[in-house]
Structures are given as structure tokens and as C-alpha cells.
Amino acid sequence: MASSSSSCNTIFLGFFVYLSLAHLTIFISANKVYVVYMGSSDNQDPDHILTRNHQILTSVHSESVEEAKAAHLYSYKHGFKGFAAKLNDDQALQISKMEGVVSVFENKKRKLHTTHSWDFIGLGEEETMEIPGFSTKEQVDVIIGFIDTGIWPESPSFSDSDMPPVPPEWKGICQSGEAFNATNCNRKLIGARYYHMGYEAEQQQQQQQKHAKLNQKHLENTDDPKKKLSFRSPRDSNGHGTHTASTAAGRYVAMSYNGLAGGGARGGAPMARIAVYKTCWDSGCYDADILAAFDDAVRDGVHIVSLSLGPDAPQGDYFSDAISIGSYHAVSRGITVVSSVGNEGGKGSATNLAPWLITVAASSTDREFTSKLQMGNGVNLKGESLGVYEMKAPARIISASIANRGFFTPYQSSYCLESSLNHTKTKGKVLLCRHTERSTESKLAKGEVVKAAGGVGMILIDETDKDVAIPFNFPAAIVGKRMGNRILSYINSTRKATTRIFASKAKIGSQPAPRVASFSSKGPNALTPEILKPDITAPGLNILAAWSPAIGKMKFNILSGTSMACPHVTGIVALIKAVHPSWSPSAIKSAIMTTATVFDKKGNPIRVDPDSRRGNAFDYGSGFIDPTAVLDPGLVYDSNPTDYKSFLCSIGYNQKMLHTITRDNATCKTKPFSNHPSSLNYPAILVPNLKSTFSVTRTLTNVRNLKQEMSYSYRAVVSTLLGIEVDVHPRRLVFNRYGQKMNFTVTFRKNSAPSQGYVFGYLQWKNRKTRVTTPLVVRVVPSNLGVVV
């Protein structure tokens, strides 16, 4: 299985078929699929939407009904309006100019962002996942929709033992298909659908000469990924969807990975219901299918949507992005949407940037998988590995650069490229290889190269993702650059350097944790820098969960990626919904963000791999999630659909565009619309272009019931921001009833010696019981640059 951090296997989950989130349309030119988005469905008759879509398609096909029908893939008509279709560029351009069309965009591919983790977070071992002071038993009424690669329904993680009947308000279906029928659903897995038209249209375009199609013949297990099948059904042949669903809501089961990390494991909300929407196939996830899944999920009645997938960075405009569009209309209907931030690792690489999304970064737990490296000079080192193979005796170790073959240079062979190694020089030896890519496949491939050339082991130098454990199929381990140079020095110090690589073992508590994973995409938000992304951090490194036996005949697997972090937050959202079913998506997000911690388990500031630098809000958002505090945050920053309309106005959407999206009478001239995106009532305050003075107003809502006390009083505490003066008014807030709202204003002033770049701090509203923490991020613009803010 590819690592979740692999760009080629990353999923960001993200026509006349019913959908219901907004007006949307997709076209495939003669050789393309396009999506046409037409804004909110506004409770319009689905048949009327279908008729309008039909008229549009017919008009650009010279009034040919047959050609329009052949071009059509999906119609979206439940949460929003629009359709997907096969069109040429001229037809797409014509439609983009029609009345009522918000945007027309190509059917882009999204990538997958691809246990003990719950113990590490702080939830108990029992399956009900009770949190002191609160009962989460109502999670049986919470339905989570997963937009992913499907599910392996026979996994014990999805057993419905002792679960009550399906909630009566559920409107979803269990869609039959290849190796999957209605009997595969139960009281746990209550719904399953699959979407393939957007994917197949792209495959037909890209592989016309090869006539590539989904294999529809028969179910077959294979260890050869080249022979892996794709089931035209909700059944998961990839493993990713099964892994994410079980991480968020899997039942308590005994599991291990080839004997490693054995014990009991479960999801965050093990009694919550699961509905799967399979949109992701071997080559990725396509916009047309993702939007169809969102539309059905809204109609079916899910409470939460989880997507461990997303676009490449930099992300495009919100309403030319399937995940942003689908989630906007879902959130407008009270559905919380959780997404992964991406696995590109660099500054400004964060994706899933919309403020209505909860966007999750990845961090470590305190469990690592290491192999002992016993060097011939008596020094014992360790490397990361999931390998169960070990060397029976020491063998000579050499640098791969001296094992070059034929026309390959020493530099090329040092990376153990295919065919680059000389068999005579490699046979019987351990090779020290270098690595620069992020994908699991490329690391496994290097092991295969060394093994095929006669090597008996490999040590791989990989500074970027050195903590990501890989399931090598012969003795091998990964080390960082510093340790790699140490090993190289030993090799160069003697003609008889040797090493012995041992099998991997799981070890707990040997390193500071959590640490932000090196692959986790970072801020600032490249689309709207006033909105913090990521929002929160959760475990995403070396996560054990259920798996599809179609891949390697394994029932469980260990993966790394923000794909694995996302369902940890999804599970906690389900617990919040169980205790506070009336809370809005923004209130839930606020509770998660304002109760997070920026300290590791030893009380030190969270660090960032691979160089252990001190982290900041662009690395981990508001911090590492704390499920023991989210159910009682005290105060929340709440927002409603009107606030998001205000936000759209502030970033340049005009009245006509706003009306097309929302289908109501809202205008950018109507209060409370603001003229600055920083004014959105977000649980973080970012000012990216401060030139002199700037003020931001926020509203806090009391969500704690008053008991013996007559009121709750909070005082403001502000950390120091280098080079910036911060004033909060008022400094004290007093709440005397549940649901009461109070405003405060934060004013930022540049002082005489401002710092360069972004500075980070926090505002905390605190009393004896509670701390409501808000990240503050400010960048001073030099006086000769930028605009006055």
C-alpha cells in the first residue's frame, strides 16, 4: 500500500443523478469532463433542476437531445445545483457565460493524504469512550459519512454487535455492485454508495489506446499490486477508506501488524454509525464524483463528513474547488466537515483552506517502530522500520555510491536507482542508500533494487520523513541525515565496516511527543492569509487500523499521513455531537481549537520534525487536540451561514455572485457584512499585513450551564508579540446565562522596533475552571511595502 504521504496516492476527498448541496455542473470536452456549479439548490424541485441542466446541455449540442444525454454524467440537485458532463472547451466557455452559472471548472483529480493513538490522546480503553463528567452513549445516533476509497465490510471493526436499530431518520442506501450487496450493510455500516463516472471519463480520455476500464470480472486477492483489482462497488480494494473509517469509528478489536503493536484498538466514536461514499480509485479522486457524494450525503442525513483527501497546492478559488463547494453547502445545512491539510510539508503548502472546513495537521504519538542497527565498532544505533526481517549475522556495509554499475555515476547509484547497482559489488552486503522523495513506494522500490542486486540489507538516509516507518520485505531501516553521516564516517574509517539489522520493535515513550510530522503541510493560508490553516493537529504518524485484505491479504495496517490525522478529529467531532447535538459546525470547531494544547506530554513546546524546531500556528494550528476538554469549552466562537456570506463579500465576491451561490436576498451592503476577512468570527485572529494599527472584533457565546454560580467571569491574558502592542477591550467578560453572547475588540499596533515576518502569540480568556485560547498571528509590513491595514 502506498504511504498516505505519497503525492501519487494521496486522496483529498475530496450527469443526471440526484444531488443536493448547490447548483453544480461538470463537463468533459470532447476529451474533458467539466463541472458546472450553479449555487444553492434553495429547496427547488429536483425535477426542475434536472430540466434546466438538460436545457443547458442541449443548447451547446446544437439542440441534439441524444448528444446532450451522452455527454451527461451527474446532476447535482439536493445540497447545491449543477451537473458534470463531457464537453469541449468552447462548450464549457459558452456555459460559463450563462445566467445562473457560478463557475465552470475541469474535473480535477484529488489525492489521498495518506490503537495506541487514542490512549495517547487521552481517551479511555472502554468501547463507550466515556469522558469524565459526560455521557457519550448517544453516539449511536451520530452518522459519519466517509468520502474515500470505500470499505471492507467484513472487518471486525465494523461489527454491529449490541448496536441498536438504524436511526429512523436515515435516508441512505446500501448500493449493490461488484462483490458487494445490501447484506454487507448492518447496524454499524448503515449506508454505502460508489461513484465512478468522473473517474472513468478521465480514464477513457487518458488511456484510449489501452482501453483502460475498471475490472468487472471477479473478486480476487493478490499480493502483486500490479494485479490489484478495483471493485465497481463500495468495496475497498485500496485499504485507505477502511483505515480511516475504523480510525474514526471502528469497534474495539484485537489487532497488530505482523506481530508489532499488538493489543486492542478502536475508533474515537466506536458506537457511531458509518456511511461510505466511494469516490476514490487507484488513480485518485475526481471532482465530479466528490460533488455527487456530497450531494447524496446531504440528502441521506449524515451529521459529519470526513475527507482524507484534497487538491495539490496551491489551491484554487473556493468555488472552483469541489471540496470547498460541497463542504460549504453541507455546513450551511448543519453538517460538520473534517478534512486533511495535505502531505506536501513545505511552508504555505496547506490545502482545504475554506474557513467552514476543519482542517487537520498530522503529529506523532509516543510510540515508534525501530530496528536496532548493530555496527561493527560496537556502537548500537536505531532506524525506523516496520520490517519483521532481520539478519542472522553481521555483514559488510558499503556506501551505494561505490557499487555503481555501467553508465551510472557514483552519485546516481548512491540513490539506489533501478539498474544502478553492480551485482558483484553488492552481493552479500548491506548498502547505505540516499533518498529524497516522499512516497512509500519509492522507498520500498529502493529495497527491491538492493535485494535484486544481491544485497542482504539496506540503511536508507531520509532526512525529510525519517520517522515514517516502512514495511520493507528484507532487513532494512531508515535513518536521518545526521545518523547517516555518522554511519558513512564509520564506513570510511575502516575497510571492514560491518552491521547487523534487527527486526523492528514497537517502543513507547522514548521520544518527546507529540511532534508535528515533517510531511504535514504548513501554513500560511495561500488563498486567504487571514484564515488560519491548519486548524488543529492530531496523530497521523504510524497509525494502526483496519485494512482491506485485497491488499497483501492483511486485515490491519500501519499508515502515516494527514489522512490518518483527519479521522482522529472526526471521531472526536462525533463525541461532541453525541453530547451537544444542537451545536453548529463552527461551535464544534471552536471547542476543538480553543481547548487544544501547544505543549507535548512532558510540558515542553511542541516541536516540528525533521529538525526539531519549535512549532507555531502554521505547523499545528491551534495545537494538539484534547478530547477530555472539548466537551466543556466554556465559550465558543460561533458562526452561521450569514457570517460566511460576509466572508465571501470581504474577499471580493459581488452581489450577483453571492446571490447565485446562496439563492437568498443577502447583499454585501446589508449588515453585518464586513469589509475585511479578518472579521469572520474565527477561533484564531490573523493580521497578515499590519502597517500601523488594526482592530478586530470577535463574539463569544457561553455554552456552559450555570449551576450554583450566578455567573461566569473571564479575564483576558495576552502573550507578548515581539514588536507589536496588543490591547483587548473589555478586559473582563461576565456571562450570566447559557447562550449569552458578548463582544470584545483586539487592537494591534506596530511599535518602534517591529520584527520581520510573522510573530505568534495567543489571547486567553480564563477563570478558575477554564482557559479559552485563541491563536494570534501578525505580520508587520515594512512602511514602503503593501497597503495600509
- Choose, from 148, 236, 295, 535, the residue flagged as catalytic: 148
Q: Which residues contact 284 (CB under 8 A, 6 or more apart)?
A: 11, 109, 110, 111, 112, 199
Beta-bridged to residue 340, according to DSSP, are 360
Single-letter amino acid code for the residue at 268: G
- Buried/exposed 568-584: b ≥16 CB within 10 Å, e otherwise: bbbbbbbbbbbbbeebb
Which one, of 411, 435, 407, 433, lies nearest residue 422 by Cα? 407
CA gap 542, 559 in Å, rounded: 5
Q: State how beta strands 395-399 and 498-508 pair.
A: antiparallel
User: Catalytic site residue 240?
Assistant: yes
- Choose, from 563, 590, 622, 646, the residue flagged as catalytic: 563
Which one, of 445, 444, 481, lies nearest residue 464 by Cα? 481
Cell representation of residue 178: 461488484
Cis status of the peptide bond prior to 581, with omega within 30 of 0:
no
CA gap 43, 312 in Å, rounded: 33
Backbone angles phi, psi at 455, to 5 degrees: -70, 150
Half-sphere exposure of 526 (CA within 13 A, CB side): 16
User: Catalytic site residue 148?
Assistant: yes
Host H or E run for residue 491: helix 481-493
- Choose, from 240, 243, 303, 435, the residue flagged as catalytic: 240
- Spatial contact of 457 and 475, defined as CB atoms under 8 Å apart: yes
- Spatial contact of 787 and 608, defined as CB atoms under 8 Å apart: no
Q: What angle do CA 223, 227, 230 make, to 5 degrees?
A: 105
CA gap 502, 504 in Å, rounded: 7
- Spatial contact of 303 and 144, defined as CB atoms under 8 Å apart: yes
User: Catalytic site residue 664?
Assistant: no
CA gap 738, 161 in Å, rounded: 38
Cis status of the peptide bond prior to 524, with omega within 30 of 0:
yes
Cis status of the peptide bond prior to 475, with omega within 30 of 0:
no
DSSP per position, 17-41: ---EEEEEEEEETTTEEEEEEEEE-
CA dihedral 113, 119, 124, 125 (to 10 degrees): 90
Q: What angle do CA 501, 461, 406 make, to 5 degrees?
A: 95
- Spatial contact of 556 and 375, defined as CB atoms under 8 Å apart: no
- Helix, strand, coil percentages (3-state) for the chain, rounded to 5, are 25, 30, 45
C-alpha distances in angstroms, 757 versus 576, 593, 779, 780, 784? Answer: 37, 24, 5, 7, 15
Which one, of 333, 281, 415, 273, lies nearest residue 641 by Cα? 333
Burial class (CB in 10 A: 0-12, 13-18, 19+), 179: middle
Host H or E run for residue 57: helix 46-59
C-alpha distances in angstroms, 335 versus 21, 307, 328? Answer: 11, 13, 9
- Spatial contact of 77 and 5, defined as CB atoms under 8 Å apart: no
Residues recognised as catalytic: 148, 240, 563
